[in-house]
Structure 1
Amino acid sequence: MNPIAQQALDEARGRLGDVPGRPFKNRKPWTLHDEARLVLLYPDTPMPELIAVFVRPYWSIYNKAYALGLRRSDEYLASEHACRLRREENPGVGSRFQKGQTSWNKGISYAAGGRSAETRFKAGTLSGKAAMLLQPVGTERVTKDGIRQRKIRDDGPPQRRWKSVHMILWEETNGTVPPGHIVVFRDKNTQNIDVGNLELISRAENMRRNTIHRYPPELKETIRQLGKLKRAISEAPNEKQDD
Structure 2
Amino acid sequence: MAHKYSEIELNWVKWHAALGRQELADKFNERFGTTQTAEQLVSLRKRKGWLTGRDGRFKAGQPKIPGSGAKTPNATSFKKGNRPANYVPVGTEIIDGDGYRRVKVADPNEWEFVHLRVWEQQNGPIPPGAVIRFLDGDKQNVTPGNLVKVSKAEHLHLNRREYNAAPDEIKPALLSLSKLEVKLFEIQRNEER
Smaller-chain TM-score range?
0.3 to 0.5
TM-score of the two chains, using structure 1 as the length reference: 0.36
TM-score of the two chains, using structure 2 as the length reference: 0.44
